[in-house]
Amino acid sequence: MVCLGNICRSPLADGLLKAKIEARQLTDSVDSAGTSSFHAGEKPDARMIATANSYGVSLSHLRARGFEAKDFDLFDRIFVMDKSNLQNVLKLARTEADRKKVDLLLNLSHPGENLEVPDPYYGGDEGFHAVYKMVDEATDVLIKQLEKNDG
């Protein structure tokens, strides 16, 4: 799961998907990163931690890191939050196989629409709850795909 800072959107997608995987006792591994390393080493934004907590999801153990080309080797699928993240991740792709791993997260819940998870960083609390709803819907679709693959 990839966004810009790895402190708002992608940690939520990471923590929420991990919670869904654990609840179903699946074995898939999940991680998140930012296309910028500006916040590397930091916890998720306090507003994102509080929003996730209000839905019973803990994010406070996560720490930000930058996305690296080697992530293409470590992960089968790479979901980005917006089109800017998409461009930045694709710049690091080395092969067509790398490029094929990448998609906008909301194409899971809204196939082919190329919708973005908006950056909530400069807005109010309602933006964080809106992000939660979008990421929850998309990860619900993803978890069904992962259940099929495991089953």
Does 38 engage in binding with ligand 4NP (CB under 6 A)?
yes
116 lines the binding site for ligand 4NP (CB under 6 A) = no
CB of 7 to ligand 4NP, least distance (A): 4
The closest alpha carbon to 141, from 26, 9, 2, 17, belongs to 17
Q: How far is CA 104 from the centre of its chain?
A: 10
Length of the chain: 151
Residue of 84, 121, 130, 140 interacting with ligand 4NP (CB under 6 A):
121
Q: Segment near ligand 4NP (CB under 6 A), from 6-14, 70-78, 102-110, 134-142?
A: 6-14
Q: Bridge partners of 79? A: 103
- Give the interface segment with ligand 4NP, choosing from 7-15, 71-79, 106-114, 142-150 (CB under 6 A): 7-15
Closer to ligand 4NP at the Cβ: 3 or 21?
3
Q: How many CA atoms lie within 13 A of 141 on its CB side?
A: 13
Tokens of 5: 């800072």
Residue 63 appears among annotated catalytic residues: no
CA-nearest of 68, 138, 67 to 105 is 138
Is residue 9 among the annotated active site residues?
yes
Compute how many other C-beta atoms are within 10 angstroms of the C-beta atom of residue 63. Answer: 15
Whether residue 31 lies in the annotated active site: no
> Which residues form the interface with ligand 4NP (CB under 6 A)?
3-9, 34, 38, 119, 121
